[in-house]
Amino acid sequence: MNRIDLEGRVAVVTGGGQGIGLAVAQRCASSGAKVAIWDMNAETAVRAANTIAEAQAFTVDIADASSVAATLADVEVALGPVDILVNSAGIAGPNHRLSDYPDVDWKRVIDINLNGTFNVNKAVTKGMEARGYGRIVNIASIAGKEGNPNAAAYSAAKAGVIALTKSLGKELAGQNIAVNCITPAAARTPIFDQMTQTHIDYMLSKIPRGRFLEVEEVASMVAWLVSEENSFTTGAVFDLSGGRATY
């Protein structure tokens, strides 16, 4: 495994208690960063932080802007100014046809996956702009490019994350702040517990590699994107779909 240099950096990883977020947190820490693991589930966050040197756990609801602001302030007291944000927190929501999609579930998926991304990006960029440095990676999805049937809320939210990333990347392009996103295919993480087996089988059938994405593969790409070496690329979408997307 190549070691990316993140020495002296402070990284916030939302959804860092499990799945992709946990793999990213581990990779950032092994590259020298101090890591703040943000998760809605306090127990999950603490358990993850206890397995990673230089990591601390913080309980936060990213859909609540006041919770994000308060938690960011706590991180900066405990670890220092935030240089890196990897926004991995998200939910799949239930699988339904759009005509049957429950309003409450639609709102929750949008609130966490899209509005939560807005809240966290807005909070951290203020400090990054003031200090003249920052690296942000938002975790979107191949569903945001192509749309998955019976997953309209998730697909729409992730499409919004892609557009938000492109917009913010352009806004901050004149500074040493890179804002990018990745569009993974499905990885076998606890988010599968929210999906039907039919939907899981559909996602696998669309991946030319013939297997699900490994979370360590995500962490490898993210590690470079949040490093100082990524000094030019911003507002970009990096594909991790195993060949599903060709654009």
Catalytic: which of 133, 154, 202, 247? 154
pLDDT of residue 191: 65
- The structure tokens listed for 4 are 């990316």
pLDDT at residue 207 in the model: 81
Give the end-to-end CA distance of the chain in Å, rounded to a whole number: 28
Query: What is this structure's pTM?
Result: 0.92
Give the per-residue pLDDT at 201.
82
CB–CB of 181/161 below 8 Å?
yes
pLDDT of residue 57: 98
- For the sheet containing 34-39, what is the strand order? 55-59, 34-39, 10-14, 84-87, 134-139, 177-184, 237-240
For residue range 108-167, list pLDDT tens digits in order.
999 999 999 999 999 999 999 999 999 999 999 999 999 989 999 999 999 999 999 999
Q: What parts of the chain have a pLDDT lower than 70?
A: 189-194, 246-247
In terms of residues, how long is the chain? 247
pLDDT, tens only, 6-19:
999 999 999 999 99
Q: In the structure, how many helices (H) and strands (E) does the chain have?
A: 9, 7
pLDDT, residue 73, reads 98
pLDDT score recorded for residue 185? 81
pLDDT at position 247 is 67
Place of tokens 């601390």: 56
10-229 folds as: Rossmann fold (3.40.50)
Instruction: Give catalytic status of residue 202 as yes or no.
Output: no
